[in-house]
Amino acid sequence: MFPVARAALNLTARGIQHTAVRRAHRKYEPDFHDKYGNLVLLGGAAVFTAVWGYVFTQAGIEWGLSPVGRITPKEWRE
């Protein structure tokens, strides 16, 4: 192995070890995702369900119905 590559690898490994030791001695503090992650997920699911429930039931959209047989062509005007 080249000396420069060996030195770079050694510095990288030392940095990773230093970070691991620093995190091991620190108390675990919950971040935003730990505190509110499930609440945000459930809120998003509720909004998603409410919006699509409205669209499917109240918006008056006819979903996937074929117009064949229901639409007749208009008479041609000259």
Predicted TM-score (pTM) of this structure: 0.43
Contacts within 8 Å (CB) and 24+ apart, 70-78: none
pLDDT tens by residue, the chain, 78 residues: 567 666 665 656 677 776 766 666 666 778 888 888 999 999 999 999 999 998 888 877 766 666 676 677 788 887
Q: Provide the total of helices (H) and of strands (E) in the chain, helices listed first.
A: 2, 0
- What ranges do the domains of the chain cover? 1-57
What tokens appear for 55 in the block? Answer: 């669209």
Q: Which CATH number, 3.40.50, 4.10.51, 1.25.40, 1.20.58, labels domain 1-57?
A: 4.10.51
